[in-house]
Each structure stands twice: as C-alpha cells, then as structure tokens.
Amino acid sequence: MARHGDGHAHDNSQQTDGTTFTGSPETFQHDSIGTFTDSSFPTGWSDVAQVTSDSTAPQPSAVVIETTDAFGHPTKALATLPNVALSQGIYRPIEPSDFYMTRADVRVDQFSDVDPAVAVEDPNNPGFLLCGCPVGFESALDWPMGVTFAFLDGSIDPADAPAAGLVASAETHTWHLFAGTAHVVVNIDLGVQVEEGKWYSVETDFNASNGALHGEVIDATTGLTLADKMVFVNDPKYAFAGGTYDPSVDGVFNTEAYNDGEVSLSHTSDPTLTRPGLAVIDNIDTSPLHPGNVWGCGDGHDHGGDTKWLASILSDHG
C-alpha cells in the first residue's frame, strides 16, 4: 500500500523457530526449509525481497513447497517464510493497461501479530499514521497475503508502493478490498472471515479508465462465492491529500504482486510482537504478461517473456 510519509524502520526482523511456529504443520514443521528455492519460481516471477537493497526479509523470502490443495490433493505451491519483514513473496512485470486482472488460490496458515500503537495519526504529519501510511489503512497495515497490482520503481518496498487489490487483514482476519495511490485511499472490509488453513480463490480486477475496482472471494472447496464487491475509486469520498482520481497516475501499475505486508511489525517498539504472517499461494491465473522491468534479480536473465505459466510447478497437481 502506498506510503506517503517519511522514513522506513526496518530493524525489527525476527526469525521464528519450530517451537513457536503455529501455522499449518504440513508447511514449515514438516518441511522446515521448503522443498525448493527461488530458482524454482515460475518463469517471469521474482522475489519481492530483492526489489530494494534494504529489505530485512530472508532471500529467497518464499519457497516452493509440497502441500495439499483445497481438495486434499498433492500440489506444489509457493509459501512465505516465517520471518517478520516488510514484504515477502513474488512479483512479475506487466505493461500498464486500461484493464488489470489477476487471480490466485490463497491459504493463510498464520496471522501475524499487529501493533495498534503505530496505527494512529502522526501529530507531526496530519493525514498519515505513525508508520507513514495514509489515515484509512489502520485495519490493513499487516496482511499474510495479498493478490494485487502495484507500481514498483525499484526503490520503494512493495508494501509501501502504490497498489490495489485484495488482502487478508491480520487485524480483522477478514478480506479487504483496497487501493492506495497518490490520490486515492480505499480500504473496505468485505466481512468475510479468513480461516487459517483454508483455501480461497481470490480474484481482483481494475478498470483504470472508469476507476472500477472489483474483488471476489470464493470458497475454493465448495465454489461458493463469499464476497463480490465493486467500488469506483474515482468517487470523491476516496480522494486523498486534496487530489482526485487521475487514471494517468492512479490507474498505472507495472507489476502483479503476491506478497505479505508486516508494516506495523516493521515499526513496532514492542519486543513481544514477533509472530509473522504465513500464507501459501497456488494456481495463479493472470492476464497476458507483457515484458517489463524486474528489479534486483541479479541473475542476468530476461524474466519478462513467458506466458505459459499455468503449466508451471504452481499448477502441478501430480
């Protein structure tokens, strides 16, 4: 989510161990280091922890694991590691467009701690919270996984970047539809409780020309639609910092990003708040990929041209 305040605090990275981990036993207790590494990421996808040089996340910040899908069938899926950091997960470049769509199956294995002490307005920076995020995001500062579009410039952490999509809030344990850009702040609690260990099919799309942001949450096991919400972010009630929605600014995204965000924990001064968020993603189904820039890969390879990714490991049910 976009941060417009000043400064980052990245000195609260904590690593948990097997005795304190309380998530799904089929991920990190059974498979303590993950089955694979970032080299097994689907072609075209990169680690969000490598976007900036000051990330405190482990690298890779996510690994491919062997687990089970919504029907109990074996599958290979991507899981974030048990660490407190601003962002962990994956992203890939897309071309800015008039329409964006992305979808994934998401399983939250553990909600992180949250620190409400940083979710208050900064008296020295009206309109912003102490963590630097805009007022309005108090209930969505920490999330174990988001299915989003973002604008990354190579210098801003994905948790702070302009973005829109769906996140599982660690504060409310519900799905939130959100947008945080230069002129827009939207944070809508969809009222759908997120059960740890349960698979959800999560889809979000955005029409940049008219500001229509749509989110849908489906029970991946039963196929039941749990939430289906559309909001127009150009509505004046969502205007931020005296601006109005501008599609040339607020409707421009250059990445699809599946990542957690632990903003309050990355700014907390409470040493007892150490539990990280954990989530697994599978069956990513996205709009056509266009070449773009990947930051921080450092491997000399082109990560922008493979669209055949439904045949990749993350949709392998064998």
168-188 burial, b for 16+ CB within 10 Å, e for fewer?
bbbbbebbbbbbbbbbbbbbb
Give percent of the chain above pLDDT 70.
Answer: 77
CATH, domain range 25-309: 2.60.120.560
- For residues 245 and 236, the answer to whether their CB atoms sit within 8 Å is no
* AA letter at 257: A
Q: Which is more confidently placed, 20 or 58?
A: 58
Band of the pLDDT at 2, cuts 50, 70, 90? low
User: What residue spans define the domains of the chain?
Assistant: 25-309
Could you give the count of Cα atoms lying within 13 Å of 118 in the half-sphere of its Cβ?
23
**pLDDT for position 34:** 52
Write down the pLDDT at residue 75.
86
Range in 241-255, 256-270, 273-287 the model is least confident about: 273-287
pLDDT digits (tens, 9 = 90+) for 161-215: 999 999 999 999 999 999 999 999 999 999 999 999 999 999 999 999 999 999 9
